[in-house]
Amino acid sequence: MVSKTNSFLTLAELRQSDRKFDATRPIAEEALQRIVSAGRLAPSACNGQPWHFVVVTEKQLCREVGKGLNYLGMNKFCLNAVAYIVIVKESANLTSTIGAKWKNKDFSSIDIGIAASYLTLAAASEKIGSCIIGWFNENKIKELLKIPSNKRIELVIALGYSLENNRSKKRKAYNSVISFNKYD
């Protein structure tokens, strides 16, 4: 089994999708800068870095973005987030684009998922809760944040200090998802 002394594993165990935020407690700008710096450092196919992070901290704008995330009755908890990181998909570089077509894989979306992991783990390292949101009113959020109509918002990460206790993780058994040297 995996050693519990590994600080990254401890961080991975600590990180959870939080859905109750302290709406009265803002996040320090320095902490947000460290979080987005981690996202910026995420690896990507052919170093394409197909993302732009829009950090939303202004209170009224956060409220409006929260309403855009509360789409068709989903994500009501986002109204209490105190910041958001909106991940806008940018054009990948030429080698990544050619590779994606050649291998029939959307490397840019994979890269954005990796960046989202870096962002949420960095937030957890700052003791800040996060939740990755994929269901939202994209047009409303684009309008609010002046994101060009030809761009896509892939994900939004809601941030805030969690009011929830850490939950035990419900994951499949180690041996049911991992095998060595062949697929079992």
Residues of the chain with pLDDT under 50: 1
- Please give the full DSSP string across 73-103, using - where no structure is assigned: T--GGGGG-SEEEEEEE-PPPHHHHHHHHHH
Going from N- to C-terminal start, the domains of the chain cover: 24-163
Q: In what order do the strands lie in the sheet with 129-133?
A: 51-56, 83-89, 152-160, 129-133
Q: Looking at the domain that runs over 24-163, which CATH code has it been given?
A: 3.40.109.10
3-state secondary structure labels for all residues of 13-60:
HHCCECCCECCCCCCCHHHHHHHHHHHHCCCCHHHCCCEEEEEECCHH
Please give the model's pTM, rounded to 2 decimal places.
Answer: 0.92
pLDDT digits (tens, 9 = 90+) for 69-101: 998 888 999 999 999 999 999 988 888 888 778
Answer for the pair 69, 144: CB distance below 8 angstroms, yes or no: no
| Helical ranges in 94-180 per DSSP H | 94-103, 107-125, 138-145, 174-177
The pLDDT score that the predictor gives to residue 64 is 97
In 3D space, the residue among 93, 127, 119, 104 whose CA is nearest the CA of residue 40 turns out to be 119
Among all chains, which residue has been given the structure tokens 């998922």? 113
